[in-house]
Amino acid sequence: MITMDRRNQPQHRPQHPNANHHDNHQSTFKRDVDDSGGGHFQHKRFRAGHQRHRQAGPSTPPSSPPNQSLSVQRQLYERDFPLYKQPVEVGHFSLDSERRFFNDDRQLRYYVEPEKSCPNFNLRDGYRDRFIKRDDGVKEKLDHILRWILANRSKLQSKEVAASSSPCALGVNVVTWRGHLTKLLTTPYETQEGWLLAVTRMGGTLYISEVETEAARRDQEDRTERHEEMMYWGYKFEQYTCADDAHSLPDPGGVVNTNEAFCTVVQTRLAEHRLLFSGEVDCRDKDPKAPPPPACYIEMKTSLEISTPKQRSNFHRFKLLKWWAQSFLPGVPRIVAGFRDHDGVVVSVETFHISKISQLIKNETNCWKPTVCMNFCCDFLSFVKSIVTEDNPREVHLFSWEPHRDVTYSIHRDSQYSFLPDWYIREMTSPASREIHHHHPPQT
């Protein structure tokens, strides 16, 4: 779990069975919101329930109607840090140069420290002639994670069934991408970009998959040539610092292909929510004596070099928030940052320890707080759980948020938003597969 220590630094802690993880918890859901606004509430059952339970008090018995929106105001989330169990890697997978799935670590790379503190890497090199860009028009949704789940299901379930800690088939409450959770963590501080998250409940597990917003689609279409090129720079930095195996060197003369990925799959718990999520990992420590994953993983980043106090402050307030959220979630302890000039030349390299970031930002006025990020994410998941009660792979609750607004939702059946593929639904619901994977005696 994670609690704030005396210096107010969030720390992962191993789980303690009697841990009190809900100190000082106050629900931040909003009650009795006007459900006619925005055309967002189409939940017939809610309307009926609302009539029946109009007198429900603030302590919210289980039969009460769920709240219809969730506030994002920061001050509502300034309470004790919630329990966040040390994330455990339960598996990993690789996507090759053609984006094919492999249930192994063939794409894992090894960090090679630059020889000089001022390495002079030219991030523009190869953009025109040695760059294969993943087709971001192909929406993969949760497919790779679902493939991983099917390939590793017996392993996942046998552990959970043995612990008999969860009534749901998979033994987890939430399946999603790390990147979606990162967006949730940073939501209380986000003023530019909203999000849409599609949620489906199947076998007692909530699956959360992002839907591209109209604004994001427009931004993508309107990208300038300079912006397109700058998106390549981060991958190029990885190529300068990562090798294919522990004993080789990086190959900056090779092709950068953004189809390739190594993804870790971790399990953890945020308060009462058992989470299974996957995220791309840039590389690992090449020392074989390094701690086991995810503690040996390293996140690579690039950023404009900092030359003024204002730039430093902005780096702390905006960039470190995103960096922290992304790596804290899967328990990746280190970020190696390449600071570059305007021409894409890396002029310095610096390591950031995730556990020290909250110290680093503490003198900034009006700065972000890890506890607000984690409490918001936790309350969002509770909100989703209270709303998405029907177990139906074809139903989607679309949760929607725009800056300066509350989170709201709409309901869709057999729509463009359905995202669980038939091959997954079939495999997870067929009686034959349940027998195999649950070790149930055959039905007669």
Interface ranges with ligand A3P (CB under 6 A)? 231, 233-235, 237, 282, 301-302
User: Could you give the angle at the alpha carbon of 175 between the alpha carbons of 138 and 46, nearest 5°?
Assistant: 100
Rounded-to-integer distance, Cα 300 and Cα 332, Å: 11
Other Cβ atoms within 10 Å of 22 Cβ, number: 13
Residue 15 DSSP class: -
Cβ contact 269:15 at 8 Å: yes
Cβ contact 98:325 at 8 Å: no
Number of residues that bind Mg ion (CB under 5 A): 2
Cβ contact 242:283 at 8 Å: yes
Shortest Cβ distance from residue 173 to Mg ion (Å)? 28
Rounded-to-integer distance, Cα 204 and Cα 390, Å: 9
Amino acid residing at 253: G
Q: From the list ligand A3P, Mg ion, none, which binds 189 (C-beta under 5 to 8 Å, kind-based)?
A: none
Residues 235 to 294: which contact Mg ion by CB under 5 A?
282
Shortest Cβ distance from residue 234 to Mg ion (Å)? 6
Q: From the list ligand A3P, Mg ion, none, which binds 231 (C-beta under 5 to 8 Å, kind-based)?
A: ligand A3P
Token representation of residue 276: 């299974």
Shortest Cβ distance from residue 419 to ligand A3P (Å)? 20
User: Could you give the angle at the alpha carbon of 180 between the alpha carbons of 177 and 183, nearest 5°?
Assistant: 150
**Residues paired with residue 231 on neighbouring β-strands, in sequence order:** none
Q: From the list ligand A3P, Mg ion, none, which binds 286 (C-beta under 5 to 8 Å, kind-based)?
A: none
Shortest Cβ distance from residue 184 to ligand A3P (Å)? 16
Rounded-to-integer distance, Cα 257 and Cα 241, Å: 15
Pick 223 or 404: Cβ nearer ligand A3P: 223
Query: Using CB atoms, what's the residue nearest to ligand A3P?
Result: 234
Pick 222 or 422: Cβ nearer ligand A3P: 222
Amino acid residing at 145: I
Which one among 300, 321, 374, 387 touches Mg ion, defined by CB under 5 A? 300
Cβ contact 67:28 at 8 Å: no
Shortest Cβ distance from residue 323 to ligand A3P (Å)? 8
Amino acid residing at 4: M
Pick 260 or 282: Cβ nearer Mg ion: 282
Shortest Cβ distance from residue 250 to ligand A3P (Å)? 16
Pick 233 or 352: Cβ nearer ligand A3P: 233
Shortest Cβ distance from residue 383 to ligand A3P (Å)? 25
For 442, the 3-state DSSP assignment is coil
391, HSE (Cβ side, Cα atoms, 13 Å):
10
Pick 67 or 241: Cβ nearer ligand A3P: 241
Shortest Cβ distance from residue 344 to Mg ion (Å)? 16
Pick 323 or 383: Cβ nearer Mg ion: 323
Q: From the list ligand A3P, Mg ion, none, which binds 109 (C-beta under 5 to 8 Å, kind-based)?
A: none
Identify the residue whose tokens are 């990562």. 242
Pick 175 or 300: Cβ nearer Mg ion: 300
Distance from chain centroid for Cα 362: 24
Shortest Cβ distance from residue 338 to Mg ion (Å)? 10
Pick 28 or 326: Cβ nearer ligand A3P: 326
Rounded-to-integer distance, Cα 288 and Cα 245, Å: 12
Q: From the list ligand A3P, Mg ion, none, which binds 107 (C-beta under 5 to 8 Å, kind-based)?
A: none
Rounded-to-integer distance, Cα 59 and Cα 9, Å: 31
Rounded-to-integer distance, Cα 297 and Cα 178, Å: 15
Shortest Cβ distance from residue 46 to ligand A3P (Å)? 35
Closest CA to 231 of 352, 127, 342, 338: 127
Pick 12 or 301: Cβ nearer ligand A3P: 301
**How far apart, in Å, do the first and last CA atoms of the chain sit?**
44
Pick 282 or 395: Cβ nearer Mg ion: 282
What is the DSSP track for 388-432?
A: -----TTEEEEEEE-TTS-BEEEEEESSTT--S-HHHHHHHH-HH
Residue 260 DSSP class: -
Binding positions for Mg ion, rule: CB under 5 A: 282, 300
